[in-house]
Amino acid sequence: MYFRLDKTALAAVALAPAIQLSSAETILGAYVFHRHGDRTPKSIPPASLTDLGYVEVLDRGTYYHSRYIASDSPTQILGIQSEIVKLSQLAVTSPSDSVLQNSAAGWLQGLYPPAGAASNQTLRNGTTIEAPLNGFQLIPIAIQSSGSGSESNSWLQSAANCQNADISSNEFFSSDLYNSYESSTKSLYQGLSPVVNATFSESQLSFLNAYTIWDLLNVGMIHNSTTTYPALSNVSDDTMNELFQLANIHEFNLAYNESSTIRAISGMTLASQVLTALNKTITGNGKSPSLNVQFGAYATFLSYFGLANLTAVNADFFGIPDYASSMTWELVTNATVANASSFPSTSDISVRFLFNNGTSAASDNLTAFPLFGGSALELPWDDFVTSTQKFAVTGQEQWCQVCGNTTGICASSSSSSASASSTSSSGSGMSNAVAGVIGAMVTLGVVLGLEVLGLLAGGLRVVRKRSLAAAGAAASSSAVNAGDEK
Ligand SMILES: *[C@@H]1O[C@H](CO)[C@@H](O)[C@H](O)[C@H]1NC(C)=O
Ligand SMILES: *[C@@H]1O[C@H](CO)[C@@H](O)[C@H](O)[C@H]1NC(C)=O
Ligand SMILES: *[C@@H]1O[C@H](CO)[C@@H](O)[C@H](O)[C@H]1NC(C)=O
Ligand SMILES: *[C@@H]1O[C@H](CO)[C@@H](O)[C@H](O)[C@H]1NC(C)=O
Ligand SMILES: *[C@@H]1O[C@H](CO)[C@@H](O)[C@H](O)[C@H]1NC(C)=O
Ligand SMILES: *[C@@H]1O[C@H](CO)[C@@H](O)[C@H](O)[C@H]1NC(C)=O
Ligand SMILES: *[C@@H]1O[C@H](CO)[C@@H](O)[C@H](O)[C@H]1NC(C)=O
Ligand SMILES: *[C@@H]1O[C@H](CO)[C@@H](O)[C@H](O)[C@H]1NC(C)=O
C-alpha cells in the first residue's frame, strides 16, 4: 500500500520535466513518405544506391526507431512491438525500382535492427535457433505496381499514365516561365559542354534538362576525385548553386501548378493513400498497421507541398527535398488511451505533419509545419479529412474522371474527359485550346520527348527505362530521360 521508489521510478521522475510536454499525448499511428539515399546519376542508367546512400537511409531508419519503436521513447506508437517486429503492425511499400527498394530495405534495418538472441526460437526437440546475421529481421516491402498487398494499388500505380496530368506538364514547356529561363540560361548550359560532354550532347545542354545536368554534376561533386572527373574542377560553387536553383524551378513547376492542379496527380494519389491508411489505423482497433511507410520520388513530395499549401508557410518547400528526406503524418491524441485496441473517438484525434530534409537537415529531428495554409500544427482529424478530400484522388473511378482517361482500365467506368473538368479542382480539365497546343506539338515531332518529360509529373510510375531510352533516341527533342524522377 506504500510507494516503493525503486531506481526506475526515480529515473522516470528525473526525466519527467523533459518529457512533460508530450507526456499527455499519445501517438496512435503514422504515415511516412521517404526519399532514397545518395545514388549514382540518373543520366547514366541504371541508377543505384551507393554505400553512402545506404548509410544515410540506415541512419534515418535508426532515427525513426528511436522516435516510434523504442520502448523508452515518449513518442513510441501505441502498442507497437519495440524489439521483434510484428509484421501486421507495419505496411511498407515502394515502387519496383532498385534505388527505392534498396533504400527501403536499408531503412528497415535501422527501424528494427538485428535482435540478436531476442530473435531466438526454440524447436520441439529443444534446439534453439537464432536468425542469421545476428538476429536480422526480415520485413517485406510491397511493390506499388504489382497490385499485391493492397486492393487499391492497381489503380494507384497508374497515376503517371494520367492523360490530363501529362497534358498539364507539357504545358510547362510552352509557358512564359519556361521560355524565359530557356533563353536566359542558354550560354550557361552550353558552357558546361567540356564538363558533361561524355553524357550530354551539345543539343541536350539547355534548361530542358536542368535537373539531369545538375544531378550528374552533383553526384560527381560527391563521388569523383580530380582524377576520375578532372573537368569538375572548372565548375565553381556559384555555378553549382545556380544550376541547382534552376533544377528546383524546373522540377517544382513540373510537379505542381496552382491553376492546373491535375499536374500534381502524384500528390493527389499520395494524399488519398495517407488518408486511407490513417483511417484504417483508426478504424482497425489495433488490428491494422499503425506505421505505414512508403518510399517514393521527390516529385511526389513537391506535388504534395503545392497541394497542401506548404509553400505558403515556408518558401523552402519550393525546393527539391534532399536525399533521405521524409515527411510524416502523425495521428495524435491527448485523450487517455487504455490500450491499442480501444482508440479514442475521432473528435479526440488530430493529425500533425512533419518534415525532415535528410542530408540537408540541420538535425535528425522532424519539424512540424501547418498544412493547408493554416497555422495549427495539429489539425483535428475531421478537418484534415475535409481539407485532404479537396484534392485527394480516391479510387479508380475518380482517377479516370480527373485524368480524362476512357480506355484501358478506365474503359468500363462511366467517366469521360468532359466530366473531368467539372469534378476535378480548378483548371485540370483539358480545354480545346490546350488540345490545340498539344496537337501542334505532336505535329512538330516532339511528342516522344514530351512523353518522357510527362513522366516527371507522376511520382509513382515504374519507368520502362529501356523503352524510354529508345524513345529518346528516336525523338527530335533533346530531353534526357529523367526516369522516375527519384
Ligand atoms: C532438432 O531439429 C532440427 C530441425 O529439424 C535439427 O536440425 C536438429 O539437428 C535437431 N536437434 C536434435 C538434438 O535432434
Ligand atoms: C500553369 O497553368 C496555367 C493554366 O493551365 C498555364 O497557363 C501556365 O502556363 C502554367 N504555368 C507553368 C509554369 O506551367
Ligand atoms: C569533351 O570535351 C573535352 C574538352 O573540350 C575534350 O577534350 C573531349 O575530347 C570531349 N569529349 C567528347 C566525348 O567529346
Ligand atoms: C566518376 O567516377 C566514376 C568511378 O569512380 C566513373 O565511373 C565515372 O565515369 C566518373 N564520372 C564522370 C562523369 O566522369
Ligand atoms: C474510414 O473508414 C470507415 C470504415 O471503413 C469508412 O466508413 C469511412 O468512410 C472512412 N473515412 C474516410 C475519411 O476515408
Ligand atoms: C531541403 O534542402 C534543399 C537543399 O538544401 C533545399 O533546396 C530545400 O529548400 C529544402 N527544403 C525544405 C522544405 O527545407
Ligand atoms: C495558402 O495559404 C496562404 C496563407 O495562409 C493563403 O493566403 C492562400 O490563399 C492559400 N492558398 C491556397 C491555394 O489554399
Ligand atoms: C490514359 O490515357 C493516356 C493517353 O491516352 C494513355 O497514354 C495512358 O496509358 C492511359 N492510362 C491508363 C491507365 O489507361
What pLDDT does 190 receive?
A: 97
> Tell me: the pLDDT tens digits for 464-475?
333 333 333 333
What pLDDT does 56 receive?
A: 98
What pLDDT does 343 receive?
A: 87
Cα separation, 107 vs 325, in Å, equals 12
Question: Looking at the predicted structure, is the pLDDT value of residue 102 above 70?
Answer: yes
> Tell me: the pLDDT tens digits for 363-405?
999 999 999 999 999 999 999 999 999 999 988 888 888 999 8
What pLDDT does 397 receive?
A: 86
Which residues fall within 8 angstroms of residue 414, CB to CB, at 6 or more apart?
A: 397
Q: By the 8 A CB rule, do 329 and 308 touch? A: no
Mean pLDDT of the region 30-57: 95
**Hey, what's the cell of 278?**
490513417
What pLDDT does 441 receive?
A: 34
What pLDDT does 149 receive?
A: 30
The residue extents of the domains of the chain are: 1-114+128-486
CA 97 to chain centre: 13
Question: Looking at the predicted structure, is the pLDDT value of residue 414 above 90?
Answer: no
The pLDDT confidence band at residue 86, using thresholds 50, 70 and 90, is very high
**Chain mean pLDDT for the chain:** 81
How many Å lie between the centroid of ligand 8 and the Cα of residue 344?
43
For the entire predicted model, the pTM comes to: 0.84
Write 112-117 long-range contacts (CB < 8 A, 24+): 112/65, 112/69, 112/84, 112/85, 112/137, 112/139, 113/62, 113/65, 113/137, 115/83, 115/84
Is residue 46 reached through a cis peptide bond, with omega within 30 degrees of 0 on the bond before it? yes
Query: What sign does the dihedral 358-361-363-367 (CA atoms) show?
Result: negative
Q: Answer whether 316 contacts ligand 6 (Cβ < 6 A).
A: yes
Among all ligands shown, which has an atom nearest to the Cα of 402?
8
How many Å lie between the centroid of ligand 8 and the Cα of residue 172?
20
> Tell me: the pLDDT tens digits for 68-83?
999 999 999 999 999 9
Mean pLDDT of the region 330-344: 87
Q: Answer whether 174 contacts ligand 2 (Cβ < 6 A).
A: no
Superfamily of domain 1-114+128-486: Phosphoglycerate mutase-like (3.40.50.1240)
Q: Answer whether 376 contacts ligand 7 (Cβ < 6 A).
A: no
Question: Residue 214: is it exposed, middle or buried by C-beta count within 10 angstroms (0-12/13-18/19+)?
Answer: buried
What pLDDT does 484 receive?
A: 52
Among all ligands shown, which has an atom nearest to the Cα of 375?
7
Q: By the 8 A CB rule, do 86 and 133 touch? A: no
Q: Answer whether 253 contacts ligand 2 (Cβ < 6 A).
A: yes
What pLDDT does 342 receive?
A: 83
Atom of ligand 4 nearest to the CA of 199: 13
The pLDDT confidence band at residue 2, using thresholds 50, 70 and 90, is very low
Give the residue, 441 or 210, on which the prediction is more confident.
Answer: 210
> Tell me: the pLDDT tens digits for 314-329?
999 999 999 999 999 9
Which of 163, 147, 95 has the alpha carbon at shortest distance from 399? 163
Which of the residue ranges 24-28, 49-53, 351-355, 475-479 would you say has the lowest mean pLDDT?
A: 475-479
> Tell me: the pLDDT tens digits for 221-278?
999 999 999 999 999 999 999 999 999 999 999 999 999 999 999 999 999 999 999 9
How many Å lie between the centroid of ligand 4 and the Cα of residue 158?
35
User: DSSP letter at 348?
Assistant: G
How many Å lie between the centroid of ligand 4 and the Cα of residue 197?
13
Residue nearest to atom 13 of ligand 2 (CA): 172
What pLDDT does 63 receive?
A: 98
Mean pLDDT of the region 119-139: 96
What pLDDT does 45 receive?
A: 86
What pLDDT does 23 receive?
A: 52
How many Å lie between the centroid of ligand 2 and the Cα of residue 21?
45
Cα separation, 116 vs 34, in Å, equals 27
What pLDDT does 413 receive?
A: 56
> Tell me: the pLDDT tens digits for 132-168?
999 999 999 998 753 323 333 333 333 467 889 888 9
What pLDDT does 166 receive?
A: 87
How many Å lie between the centroid of ligand 4 and the Cα of residue 325?
25
Q: Answer whether 262 contacts ligand 8 (Cβ < 6 A).
A: no
Among all ligands shown, which has an atom nearest to the Cα of 310?
7
How many Å lie between the centroid of ligand 2 and the Cα of residue 416?
23
**Hey, what's the cell of 237?**
560553387
Q: Answer whether 229 contacts ligand 4 (Cβ < 6 A).
A: yes
Q: Answer whether 82 contacts ligand 7 (Cβ < 6 A).
A: no
The pLDDT confidence band at residue 431, using thresholds 50, 70 and 90, is very low
